[in-house]
Structure 1
Amino acid sequence: MAKRNRSFAVVGLGAFGSTVATELARFGNRVIGIDIDERRVSLLTSTLSSALIMDATDEAALREAGIDKYDVALVAIGSNLEASILTAMTLKLIGIETIWVKASSRTHHRILAKLGVDRVIQPEQEMGRHIAQMLNNPVLQDYVSLGNGYSVVNIVVPKRLEGRELSTLGLGTVHDLRLLGVMRGTEFRHSTEDTLLETDDKLILLGKRGELRSFGDSL
């Protein structure tokens, strides 16, 4: 069955919001961008399905623009905490099914959580943690946090392990980690214990952060 593209409303077209909106459009989704700044809106008119200069706290204006028919809304308003909160409330009021909101502070985060939005994001903190993980351990190429302490990571096989069997790494025994597969170049491989490692193979591992960190350090 073909994947159904969804519709997205992105409110706030600063650096973060415009990037998300542009990428969603690139994936083939219907995306409307909203901002009160005419310059920001004009920059995206040829990229998004539509872009509007609008006060997103205005319920009537949102309904008139058909925003209530969109599947998902992202509120990416920067430092104006009041506008961000009022926009989230208005989007809930008009019946948007899924609402994500960018938070600029802990207080902002707590208020949004009380409002019952689906997800509160703090991109600067999340990216900061992401970069710190990779700087801390050079073999760690990338990771995705899954919550409850679990992450999926890509760990690069160093040259000194070339030719060794996968079983010698102690995955599932010494280290409480699950191997999801191995990337060799651009090819994904389902590997077995007797698979011979090559330099620059990427191990895709699932586990708790402490175990992943310990394994990375052992390499």
Structure 2
Amino acid sequence: MASYELAARMQLQVPDVVDLSGEPKHVLELYGADSSNKTKADFANNCILARRMIERGVRFVQLFNGAYASGGKINWDGHSKLKEQYDVHGEILDQPVAGLLKDLKQRGLFDSTLVVFATEFGRMPMFQAGTYGRDHNPNGFTCWLAGAGVKPGFSYGATDEFGFRAQENVMTVHDFHATILHLMGLDHKRLTFYHNGIQRRLTDVHGEVIRDVLA
């Protein structure tokens, strides 16, 4: 019964949360929600919605950028014409994300919110055969953290001179996850889930908290 009551309360609050009509003009402009680029404006509205959810106590909010119904032409999967695609897509992403960070700060939410900006892999430093794009590169790429518990204005790790492979202060995906869990107050070595007859960790048998990135 408690689950049904929780679901009912959530549904009753949704109309107010998703109603952006009361957002002032300067906020819409901050995020770029007034842009003539509809895709950018839509993403900006999603960023505003994310902030509104955080204000109301939603603990986990995910924003996804780049999965537009475009046949791969204006997303980050730059196999064929990387610069052409990224010039289009960068405009969609930059202002709304910057607006979200600034808005969280000016509302006093930034220091209690962990922002994780992540990808599944990077791009090779050389062209993909027969194209102006670049293939997947899982060996060296960038993610960033901001907000709660994170050292500001700080870069950790570096690739080789070609940008091909992480070489200095290598942070594995398991390390990244362990660090995020630590910032959320969870010990990745003790957090387990039951699967196929054994208790498993989200970081498997790997991962260390990278304390150099902590404030």
Asked whether the two chains share a fold, i.e. TM above 0.5, the reply is no
The alignment's TM-score, normalised by the length of structure 1, stands at 0.28
Query: Which is strand-richer, 1 or 2?
Result: 1
